[in-house]
Amino acid sequence: MKNIPLLLALVGAATTAHAQSSVTLTGTVDIGVNYAKGSEASRTQMMSGGNATSKLVFRGQEDLGGGMYAMFWLESGLNADSGIFQPTNTNNQPSGATPAATGLTFNRRSIVGIGGNWGAIHLGREWSPTYVMYTSKFDPFALGAGLALNYSGGINPNQLRASNAIAYLSPTVLGGFSLNAQHWRGENLSGTATAGDGTGGGARISYDNGPFSAAAVLLRTKYAAGDAIYRVVGTAYDFGFARFSFNLNKDQQGTLKQDGWMAGVTVPVGETQLRASYSSIKSNQTGEPEGKKLAVGAVYNLSKRTALYTTVASIRNSGGASFTFTGATTAVNRSATAIDLGLRHNF
């Protein structure tokens, strides 16, 4: 007990010395009950991230003066239903160097950066330029929305994040335009056929002005089996009574190509948000397999940080496709359905 005054004095001194710095702990815990039914098998399960990805975030910023600042952001994905942290892809490989996530891994974002009026530079594992296309700005169910997630091709492992990246984020100019440009490294040994695997880059041009948003993205990552190329454009308009969004994407590696699109709407009704989307993905493989998904749902806000949610979704397959939901098994050209009910809390 005698050490308490000394401890308080040290804390006070540290606070004064770093008065221009700030560190925040935040995150999301989202758990729901999910039932998924396929033509071959079904499952009832607890599921994390039905409305928003469960995560733990440490972030901070320091004022360097002269309009400059330094920052960091560490974000870890969490399977909240089991308490297990999620693995990461350390060098952007198709299979990924994904160690078992028995402990904390900052798989979602791990960056340090510096910025000012000229924009910002980030180093580390960063959200790729495509990331914003799968948030609520362009997708009513947002990224990580469990069974309602609007699937995409998934050929490019850097579709959402890239390790060993350097990113430049411009300020907003000309009434709403901004640029996000990145380069990432695969960090393989030289002198081999796969030396360049996992190295690539991409850019996004965005326009945001009042209720209107639009963006276009191009990603390219090198692989010996054929470069992975991803293109996506999206637009959204908020009319007040409803927000409509649409995106179109093309994903390819070598001769394999996949095209997808998603149209969605979000309607606010008091403390409730009604959401719906219809999406499709189709490849150029034999038979041109295609999956189409309809998802409808609602989020009821109990407070600014806590919400109840439910979603019902259905997938229809054709051309030899067998898309399904987590936990279900579906034969080719058959359908799958799922429903979830969950609770989300932001802290």
Could you read off the pLDDT of 42-56 as tens digits, one per residue? 999 999 999 999 999
156 CB-near residues (< 8 Å, 6+ apart): 219, 221, 228, 229, 230, 251, 253
Exposure string for 183-206, b = 16+ CB within 10 A, e = fewer: ebbbbbeeeeeeebbbbbbbbbbb
pLDDT tens by residue, 314-347: 999 999 999 999 889 999 999 999 999 999 999 9
Question: pLDDT confidence of 232, banded at 50, 70, 90?
Answer: very high
Most confident of 95-104, 280-289, 295-304: 295-304
Nearest to 54 by CA among 86, 26, 82, 28: 28
* CATH classification code of 25-346: 2.40.160.10
* Closest among 182, 54, 171 to 125, alpha carbons compared: 182
**Residues 186, 158: Cα–Cα separation, whole Å:** 11
Q: Which residues contact 227 (CB under 8 A, 6 or more apart)?
A: 200, 220, 221, 253, 254
Does the pLDDT at position 280 exceed 60?
yes
Pairing of strands 290-301, 200-209: unpaired
Contact 219, 198 (CB under 8 A): no
Radius of gyration of the chain (CA): 22
The confidence score (pLDDT) of residue 210 equals 97
Please check the confidence at residue 14 and state whether its pLDDT lies above 90. no
Q: Is the pTM of this model over 0.85?
A: yes
At residue 3 the predicted structure's pLDDT band, cuts being 50, 70 and 90, is very low
Token output for 89: 């892809």
- For position 276, what pLDDT does the model report? 96
Amino acid sitting at position 66: G
Residue 267 pLDDT greater than 60, yes or no: yes
pLDDT tier at 95 (50, 70, 90 boundaries)?
Answer: low
155 band by pLDDT with thresholds 50, 70 and 90: low
